[in-house]
Structure 1
């Protein structure tokens, strides 16, 4: 049962506390640089465990159970910590970028509950291409925000937010823009999944 793909998935879950530790101090640029490296490693193992499972014919029920959990744990932990440390802040709208992160978290919880409900009815809910784009934007956004912390440091206060962010924090801006793109796709794909679920809730 503990095949190599499953061990890689477990390693992603175990790496989340270390990722959180590195992100805990917003002014610690080295920590954010190390967090970015760890984040990339986690992302690579996410691709690798799926590839190995398919290539080796080792797709297991444990892997199918753990893989989405590992993804959601990491995304939720990173969004919450970046919010707490003031990194979901940007020009013009200030802290309202937190709303994009909140939309993503709500969708992840709702879709997980929906999958559990449909699983009991023996109804599968395959991942759509649009959902894969959502995941791509989501991973890019969080990675860019972490990298921005390593390169630029934390976002400035509200009094200099527009000038400094636009001039000096372009990586951070890429992250916030991608986060909103992920949030928009989250709403679209979440509604698509909900429509499938509603058909089985009579």
Structure 2
């Protein structure tokens, strides 16, 4: 039974997303080669699609598991963080847009720490619809940016569109991060009051 839950299709999609991260990083090591950008783009799109389907299939087929719930946000954060770092290293994200990347990375670290703290208090903070929109927008923005210069050769302005979407995602990231922080702070203050 445990083995069946560990290797069900939703979890396999999550494992695939995690394994896609090093492959994406390797492709983005050569950011000026068009063929590696398109390969990176294909890997990224496949990984981003699994982000939707693993959760959807787990709910639809009643195959939700503790392992899946733990690994899904980790896979998301690995994909986003690795993509951002490689796009910064390759120069696709530069200048003022670095701030958008910093905001997104800092929020991911803050929310991860907050969730870990709240888990110790046995408090669950559900994912809001705005947070789901934020994740979707981040993935769309990063898809444009992973295509980057190779995409600009096909359709002018792909990188600019990606950077614009990245800023919108950063604003949503601030909003949802503040939302999580406020909820966490409320539980933290309640815990401190109980301890007195």
Q: TM-score, normalised by structure 1?
A: 0.87
1:186 is matched with 173
1:197 is matched with 184
Segments ≥4 residues shifted beyond 3 Å: none
Residues 1:75 and 2:80 are matched in the alignment: yes
Structure 2 unmatched runs, 5+: 1-5, 190-196
Deviation, structure 1 residue 2: 2.1
Q: 2:31 and 2:82 mapped to 1: Cα distance?
A: 15
Farther-moved stretch of structure 1 (42-51 vs 62-71)? 42-51
2:192 is matched with none
Deviation, structure 1 residue 201: 1.1
Farther-moved stretch of structure 1 (100-109 vs 168-177)? 168-177
8 Å contact kept, 2:92–2:148: no
Residues 1:110 and 2:106 are matched in the alignment: no
Residues 1:55 and 2:60 are matched in the alignment: yes
Q: 1:100 and 1:121 mapped to 2: Cα distance?
A: 32
Correspondence list, 1:43-192, <5 A: 43-89=48-94, 95-152=95-152, 169-192=156-179
Structure 1 unmatched runs, 5+: 90-94, 154-167
Q: 1:44 and 1:141 mapped to 2: Cα distance?
A: 14
2:28 is matched with 23
Give a deviation string over 1:28-73, Cα, whole Å, max 9, x none: 1111011111111111111111121111111000000000000000
8 Å contact kept, 1:145–1:175: yes
Q: 1:14 and 1:75 mapped to 2: Cα distance?
A: 13
CA RMSD of aligned residues (A): 1.3
